[in-house]
């Protein structure tokens, strides 16, 4: 009985060993060659990816370097201001203080009076009460006691106040070299007026050379203003800035900046209306009233230079900007901005405030 159990256990153990051997023989493993192939594949893929990343990085670095060099080149080719801005101006030339009605003449439907309680200058202003049936034409004028030379001014103007709002183009300031203001040399638009507000008006004249002997100044209506009360005071050629002068040098040692001379053939202070000229330097002017592009300019070489039109390292140019094309021309306390843009170069931007006291020659720090 015991032998039978022993044999049975041996038989079971033998059968188990046989199954284990067959199971081991049927199991496949990874050989060394297969492992090597997989490793090589990973290395190749990683190398390709690393090459792509490095190539992209090198390309980006080159583009970034080009952009930096281009920016440095533009900055290096730009210009800078040396010292303060200088300016040429003219002082005020008074046509009439409008303190008295003695020399004034009014048209029909207009009543003339002196106003001492509401004025801007002196002891009084002139009150003009225009009736509803006036329509258009000469409102009032004053024959001056002696002629006045305004040919040195770019502009003329006055203080004016209306009891109602008036649009631009309704009223005109007249300047005439004959008594009565019948055929004025200049008829300047007074512009829009806000009701019950004093407005300082000055407008550029079209031909200052015709104003060597102004004998009459007045006010007319190009459009019916309706029933309105006007106050006028101090008609004059205002104190004004006519030219500015800038000493310029190149910002960094680099290639020259071209200052090719231009011609303002019609003398209007602008180069934008000159045909056939390739202006490589554009100067713009900005204040609260206007933006004017392409002002006339000229240059003079300062100190030692090579005599050409290129502003190069170590050289200085005196740039003179003509303000005749700025309408109205800047007067006292005007906030001015100049944008000086050489061709394909970084611009020079200057912001200045005109002095309170305009003189024939002044510094604007």
pLDDT digits (tens, 9 = 90+) for 89-139: 999 999 999 999 999 999 999 999 999 999 999 999 999 999 998 999 999
Please report where in the chains the tokens 């900046």 appear, as a residue: 257
| Record: fold of 93-237 | Jelly Rolls (2.60.120)
Is cis: bond before 328, omega within 30 of 0?
yes
pLDDT of residue 330: 96
Q: Where do the domains of the chain lie?
A: 81-91+240-364, 93-237
Q: For the purposes of burial, counting CB atoms within 10 Å of the CB of 130, is it exposed (0-12), middle (13-18) or buried (19 or more)?
A: buried
State phi, psi for 295 to the nearest 5 degrees.
-70, 150
42 versus 134: which is more confidently predicted?
134
DSSP state of 331: -
Please enumerate, as own/partner, the contacts of 277-284 that have beta carbons within 8 Å and a separation of 24 or more: 280/342, 280/343, 281/340, 281/341, 281/342, 281/343, 282/341, 283/321, 283/338, 283/339, 283/340, 283/341, 284/338, 284/339, 284/341
**Cα separation, 181 vs 220, whole angstroms:** 10
- 191 band by pLDDT with thresholds 50, 70 and 90: very high
How high is the mean pLDDT of the chain?
Answer: 86
- Homologous superfamily in CATH for domain 81-91+240-364: Immunoglobulins (2.60.40.10)
pLDDT surpasses 60 at 73: no
Q: For the purposes of burial, counting CB atoms within 10 Å of the CB of 203, is it exposed (0-12), middle (13-18) or buried (19 or more)?
A: buried
Please report where in the chains the tokens 């002139």 appear, as a residue: 126
**Cα separation, 42 vs 49, whole angstroms:** 11
pLDDT of residue 272: 84
CA dihedral for 290, 292, 298, 299, sign (positive or negative): positive
pTM tops 0.85: no
State phi, psi for 82 to the nearest 5 degrees.
-110, 120
């Amino acid at each position: 009985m015991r032998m039978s159990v022993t044999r049975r256990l041996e038989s079971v153990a033998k059968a188990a060993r046989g199954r284990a051997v067959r199971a081991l023989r049927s199991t496949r493993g990874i050989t060394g060659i297969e492992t090597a192939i997989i490793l090589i594949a990973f290395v190749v893929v990683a190398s390709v990816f690393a090459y792509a990343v490095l190539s992209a990085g090198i390309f980006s670095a080159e583009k970034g370097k080009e952009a930096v060099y281009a920016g440095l080149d533009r900055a290096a080719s730009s210009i800078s201001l040396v010292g303060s801005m200088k300016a040429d101006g003219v002082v005020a030339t008074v046509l009439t203080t409008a303190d008295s009605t003695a020399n004034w003449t009014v048209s029909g439907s207009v009543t003339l009076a002196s106003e001492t309680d509401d004025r801007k200058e002196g002891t009084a202003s002139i009150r003009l009460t225009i009736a509803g049936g006036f329509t258009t034409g000469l409102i009032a004028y004053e024959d001056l006691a002696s002629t006045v030379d305004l040919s040195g001014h770019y502009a003329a103007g006055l203080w004016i106040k209306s009891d109602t709002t008036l649009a631009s183009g309704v009223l005109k300031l007249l300047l005439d070299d004959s008594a009565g203001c019948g055929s004025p040399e200049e008829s300047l638009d007074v512009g829009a007026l806000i009701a019950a507000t004093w407005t300082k008006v000055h407008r550029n004249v079209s031909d200052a050379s015709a104003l060597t002997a102004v004998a009459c100044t007045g006010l007319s209506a190009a459009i019916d203003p309706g029933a309105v009360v006007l106050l006028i005071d101090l008609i004059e050629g205002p104190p004004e800035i006519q030219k500015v002068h800038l000493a310029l040098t190149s910002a960094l040692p680099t290639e020259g900046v071209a200052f090719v001379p231009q011609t303002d053939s019609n003398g209007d202070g602008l180069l934008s209306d000159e045909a056939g000229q390739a202006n490589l330097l554009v100067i713009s002017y900005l204040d609260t009233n206007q933006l004017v592009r392409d002002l006339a300019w000229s240059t003079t070489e300062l100190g030692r230079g090579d005599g050409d039109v290129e502003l190069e390292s170590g050289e200085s140019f005196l740039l003179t900007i003509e303000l005749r094309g700025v309408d109205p021309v800047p007067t006292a306390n005007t906030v001015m901005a100049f944008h000086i843009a050489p061709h394909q170069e970084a611009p020079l931007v200057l912001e200045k405030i005109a002095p309170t006291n305009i003189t024939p020659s002044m510094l604007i720090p």
